[in-house]
Structure 1
Amino acid sequence: MPVALAHARRLLKGGSLALTGLWLALSPAAAQGEPPVKIGVLTDLSSLYADNGGSGSVVAARMAVEDFGGRVLGRPIEVVSADHQNKTDVGAALARRWLDADDVKVIVDVPNSAIALAVQDITRERGRIFLASGAATSRLTGDACSPTGIHWTYDTYALAQGTARAVTRRGGKSWYFVTADYALGTQLEEDSRRVIQAAGGRVLGSVRHPIGSADFSSYLLQAQGSGAQVVGLADAGGDLILALKQAAEFGVVQSGQTLAGLLVFIADIHGLGLAAAQGLILSTAFYWDLNDETRAWSQRFVARTNKVPTMIHAGTYGAVTHYLKAMAAANTDDGPTVAAQMRRMPVNDFMTRDGRIREDGRLVRDIHLMQVKAPSESKGRFDYYKLLETIPGEDAFRPLSAGNCPLVKRG
């Protein structure tokens, strides 16, 4: 009886494989020899940055594909996604598998600077495209730049030019940093230090905390003890939210210090609430309520996710759209060729006007300086920011000559 049962199972398995083969043979893509163009959204689906990128980035990429028509070069477009778990080895392994085994043509998002630097190396080696929407480190267009890497949404330099410069010019001349001890935090602090010193301020010191810290009390006490006018929070996501909550408990602002969030997303403000976040100054590449176009796209996004769109989500949509336009214009899926075409084409969408991608891979676009509203100022759901200033891209981002990118020709 067991032998007969095993034989039956083999027959069923064989029949199922045969049916699968028959379906593939009859499917339109297989019949026409058209493998899909695969776009891989590598993001944080379960941890610190899940609200800022995460499933929202996957939705944004799929919206871009749908709006493009679902096909490019006569081939279907497929969006795949994975959770890098904020672990560099996991993210790098996923990227290699996608490129080597699954024929993914482009990797998008990656909201973790250490993982993004690893993905930049991997895609450079394989001649595939990396569109960094979620990563912040300015090294992606500096010493770690790549001919197939494009840093799309924001970076640590631009955030420092916005927030750190504005707070220093408003009288916050002495700073103390509470910094995440990995690529994002250290680069954010480094870029901010330069801006603060150039604006006439000084940095009294800093303390570093591991990613995913459960308690910020000792770090905040050191910041309070420094006597600095400004406590700069050089972290993001869940770390930033917890630091701000505990800063309120310790009375940091009430004691006379100013809190400056150097990488703040609107999802963080939503999680904190206006009562805790009011008055915070921040920089962003996108705000849903800037104009009719941003409102229209954001309304579609909210209808699908019931979440407020962040600049990472909007940037993911824009990056995927520009990539598909460039592929169609270049008439190929070859990574270096499409990347070169992306650099030649201006970027115009609901969040970017006449943006341009430099030879170092930096998309130059305007950055907006915002202040969080008080609860009494908010007129509805997600009405969290008021615009203080729009910083032109040429002023916001690091000069091309200053980044030490090997791709930039020296004069």
Structure 2
Amino acid sequence: MKKTVLAMGALALALSFTTTAQAQISDGVVKIGVLTDMSGPYSAMGGRGSVVASQMAMEDCLKAECKGMKIEIVSADHLNKADIAASKAREWIDRDKVDAIADLTNSSVALSVQKLMKEKGGIAMFSGPATGRLTNEDCSPNGFHWMFDTYSQAAGTAAALTKLGQKSWYFVTVDYAFGHSLEKDASDVVKRNGGTVVGAVRHPLNASDFSSFLVQAQGSKAQVIGLANGGADVVSAIKQAREFRIGSGKDQRLAALLVFLSDVHALGLETAQGLVYADGFYWDFDERSRAFAKRFEALNKGAKPTMVQAGVYSSVYHYLKSVAAAKSDDSKIVAEKMRELPIKDAVMNNASIRPDGRVIHDMYLVQVKTPAESKGAWDYLKVLSTIPADQAFKPMDGAACNLVKK
């Protein structure tokens, strides 16, 4: 009788603990929103592939750390408009009880959502935008910048070319927060390495004709024409530059500061060959990345993952592991747990989260192969060197982020 009473007491205690843990998950479900570009210039690097990546992360966590949890993923197209993104994020948080938002491709979109999440709570995980403001003057205790930023791209490409003697630069820049930030960071790196910036020209997002901008850049006589844009814009600019043979001579070089694997695929090796740029993930880097990419490709219409999509996977998986470990989806508690737990997954190497919310990790300087070097579909890149995590991202010294101790 005594043993039975003790056993029933132990069972009651266990049930009580389980019920308490579940009660700390609001509504009994962890809900993640993927807010991305589904139809515009950044849809190939994010878009549907980002949703696929988030679903893969959910499935992997449910098999391990998240067993027994109820998880839902929703998605929406922000149309590259900050007001639409903020409205959808507000609706998700207020009405649909979304706990975290991922991807957020487009810097203006990301900044608007970062501001909202500061007020509303919830976790924001930025894998698609590049602006460094997310972890500097606009940093947030519940905002995490996951894969790359304008500094990481500039530190790789601009530094490498300037050190090779390509000292004078002219920028063709997309005219919004992302482009301005990319141009500034690249300019700073060029100047720090003894180079000069002779000028710049701005173009609208999703431009169709780059001829006048490229002719201005060519006329500058700069050794390097730096493309401070991305997505469909950088693809169009490179194609048109090749057509006019701009930047292909010995005296002038074309450098794309933000290129994704999807861009190389769109361009084709004949056009893209020789491009040097920085990347945070390449599917053929090691056995782990190849296994991840094989799964992803089967779910995403035969396309290999970009670093944005790989970053969505890593950020969502780390978030879910942190919720499981904290037994709560309270954003303050989860943010602390995310900083506490190590980042370990199939796509990130030597990764950690700094106080400012910047996720630092190894980056790679890559070069696009020639058609003769490629051995098959998606075999586009060769890794020239690894840029260590502590060198790939902007130091926190002098940062404007109020989370960084002065």
User: Could you state the TM-score of these two structures normalised by the residue count of structure 1?
Assistant: 0.90
Tell me the equivalent position of 1:24.
none
Are 1:351 and 2:344 an aligned pair? no
Deviation of the 1:336 alpha carbon: 1.2
Superposed CA deviations along residues 290-330 of structure 1, whole A, max 9, x for unmatched, are 00000000000011111121001111001011001111111
Tell me the equivalent position of 1:128.
122
Deviation of the 1:74 alpha carbon: 4.4
Tell me the equivalent position of 1:13.
none
Tell me the equivalent position of 1:119.
113
Query: Which of 88, 94, 118 is the equivalent residue of 2:88?
Result: 94
Deviation of the 1:35 alpha carbon: 3.6
Matched residues, number: 380
Are 1:403 and 2:399 an aligned pair? yes
Tell me the equivalent position of 1:49.
42
Q: In 1, are the aligned partners of 2:26 and 2:329 still within 8 Å (CA)?
A: no
- Residue 335 of structure 2 aligns to which amino acid in structure 1? A
Tell me the equivalent position of 2:357.
361
Query: Which of 259, 263, 271 is the equivalent residue of 1:268?
Result: 263
Query: Which of 33, 46, 56 is the equivalent residue of 1:40?
Result: 33
Are 1:61 and 2:54 an aligned pair? yes
Tell me the equivalent position of 1:140.
134
Q: Gapped runs of 5+ residues in structure 1?
A: 1-28
Tell me the equivalent position of 1:372.
368
CA RMSD, 1 decimal:
1.5
Q: Gapped runs of 5+ residues in structure 2?
A: 1-21
Q: Distance in 1 between matches of 2:68 and 2:289?
A: 30
Deviation of the 1:402 alpha carbon: 3.2
Tell me the equivalent position of 1:339.
335
Greater shift, 62-71 or 129-138, is seen at 62-71
Q: Distance in 2 between matches of 1:172 and 1:101?
A: 53
Percent identity among equivalent residues?
52
Tell me the equivalent position of 1:289.
284
Q: In 1, are the aligned partners of 2:350 and 2:362 still within 8 Å (CA)?
A: no
Q: In 2, are the aligned partners of 1:346 and 1:354 still within 8 Å (CA)?
A: no
Change (3 A) 1:159 1:402: farther
Tell me the equivalent position of 1:210.
204
Tell me the equivalent position of 2:386.
390
Q: Distance in 1 between matches of 2:121 and 2:404?
A: 19
- Residue 66 of structure 1 aligns to which amino acid in structure 2? E
- The alignment partner of 1:320 has SS state of helix
Q: In 1, are the aligned partners of 2:355 and 2:404 still within 8 Å (CA)?
A: yes
Q: In 2, are the aligned partners of 1:73 and 1:332 still within 8 Å (CA)?
A: no
Deviation of the 1:73 alpha carbon: 8.1
Superposed CA deviations along residues 83-114 of structure 1, whole A, max 9, x for unmatched, are 00011111111111111111000000011000
Q: Distance in 2 between matches of 1:270 and 1:134?
A: 18
User: Could you state the TM-score of these two structures normalised by the residue count of structure 2?
Assistant: 0.91
Are 1:307 and 2:308 an aligned pair? no
Q: In 2, are the aligned partners of 1:73 and 1:331 still within 8 Å (CA)?
A: no
Are 1:233 and 2:227 an aligned pair? yes
Tell me the equivalent position of 1:252.
246
- Residue 291 of structure 2 aligns to which amino acid in structure 1? A
- The alignment partner of 1:283 has SS state of strand
Tell me the equivalent position of 1:381.
377
- Residue 146 of structure 1 aligns to which amino acid in structure 2? S
Deviation of the 1:36 alpha carbon: 2.3
Q: Distance in 2 between matches of 1:221 and 1:320?
A: 43
Tell me the equivalent position of 1:322.
318
Deviation of the 1:192 alpha carbon: 0.5
Runs ≥4 in structure 1, deviation > 6 angstroms?
none
Change (3 A) 1:241 1:72: same
Q: Distance in 2 between matches of 1:294 and 1:203?
A: 37
Q: Distance in 2 between matches of 1:33 and 1:326?
A: 15
